[in-house]
Amino acid sequence: MIIKSAEFKFATDEFKKSPRTEYKEIAFIGRSNVGKSSLINFLTNNSKLAKTSSNPGKTKQIIHFLINNSWYLVDLPGYGFAKVSKTQREKFQKLINDYILKRDNLHCLFVLIDSRIPPQKIDIEFINNLGFNGIPFSIIFTKTDKVSQSKLNDNVKAFTDELLENWEELPKMFMSSAIKKTGKEEILNYIDEILNL
Ligand code: GTP
Ligand code: MG
């Protein structure tokens, strides 16, 4: 898939305020600071589309970007970062849960995982919960520019080993770096396949 246009459409801080749309949606989720907004900018080739920050808790709303006038790419707040206040974390959690469980046109959720670190309980629990709720998802390991190939292999292996304790089959997985600009083609081709527009 080639992204020819990407435009901000709407942002809401309460799920029930999100307008219904006739288009299919793909959303990015993951821990605060994992690189969700950066990946959206990388995929759409627009460094100013989604707001990014080195401080966790930057994205505070459900944000809809219309892609090629035919589908939505959705940026979400992150979960679970200790530096984000408890009140804010709980608010984000409600927004995320409402969106994931109630958005009828959500086609696939990409769960972003920081490739630099060993499996985090919060990510594994989040993914197991998706399975419990029957939400279709794929995984993207981010920030691969920050880790050696052998460390990356170790972290991915440890992560998939953890998943295999609960899952019979592994989800589709991708590697990306918004800095080195890798992974874009594979991710966009997969989105093309699943949207089947
Ligand atoms: P919240 O909105 O706070 O949940 O964070 P987010 O997941 O949207 O992360 P964001 O895209 O704002 O990026 C967080 C930080 O990680 C920023 O400083 C980015 O520059 C950095 N970052 C994102 N992607 C990459 C990457 O692929 N490689 C490296 N080295 N840094 C990255
Ligand atoms: Mg963000």
Q: Structurally, how many domains does the chain consist of?
A: 1
Cα(20) to centroid of ligand 2, in Å?
22
pLDDT of residue 84: 80
Percent of the chain past pLDDT 70, that is, above it, reads 100
Cα(2) to centroid of ligand 1, in Å?
23
Ligand 1 pocket test: pick from 38, 63, 88 the residue with the most ligand atoms within 8 Å of its Cβ: 38
**Distance in angstroms (rounded) separating the CA atoms of residues 72 and 148:** 34
In a domain, 131, yes or no: yes
Ligand 1 pocket test: pick from 53, 141, 147 the residue with the most ligand atoms within 8 Å of its Cβ: 53
Q: Would the pLDDT of 172 be above 90? A: yes
pLDDT level of residue 19 (50, 70, 90 thresholds): very high
Phi-psi group of 158: left, alpha or beta (phi > 0 → left; psi -120 to 50 → alpha; rest → beta): alpha
User: What are the tokens at 66?
Assistant: 């219309």
In a domain, 1, yes or no: no
Q: Which ligand is nearest to the CA of 53?
A: 1
pLDDT of 36-56, one tens digit each?
999 999 999 999 999 999 999
Cα(30) to centroid of ligand 1, in Å?
11
Ligand 1 pocket test: pick from 31, 33, 65, 75 the residue with the most ligand atoms within 8 Å of its Cβ: 33
Query: Are β-strands 24-30 and 62-67 bridged in parallel, bridged antiparallel, or unpaired?
Result: unpaired
pLDDT level of residue 111 (50, 70, 90 thresholds): very high
| Closest-lying ligand 1 atom to the alpha carbon of residue 53 | 12
Q: Would the pLDDT of 165 be above 90? A: yes
**Distance in angstroms (rounded) separating the CA atoms of residues 176 and 195:** 20
Q: Would the pLDDT of 81 be above 90? A: no
pLDDT of residue 83: 82
pTM: 0.97
Which of 118, 112, 99 has its CA nearest to residue 138? Answer: 112
Q: Which ligand is nearest to the CA of 77?
A: 1
In a domain, 133, yes or no: yes
Residue 90, helix vs strand vs coil: helix
In a domain, 182, yes or no: yes
Q: Give the domain CATH number at 171.
A: 3.40.50.300
Residue 92, C-beta contacts closer than 8 angstroms, at least 6 positions apart: 32, 57, 60, 77, 78, 79, 84
Range of the domain at 65: 6-195
Residue entry with tokens 């991710």 = 187
pLDDT of 55-72, one tens digit each?
999 999 999 999 999 999
User: What are the tokens at 165?
Assistant: 């304790």
Q: CB of 40 within 8 A of CB of 28?
A: yes
Q: Would the pLDDT of 180 be above 90? A: yes
Q: What's the mean per-residue pLDDT of the chain?
A: 96
Query: Are β-strands 62-67 and 71-75 bridged in parallel, bridged antiparallel, or unpaired?
Result: antiparallel
pLDDT of 142-154, one tens digit each?
999 999 999 999 9
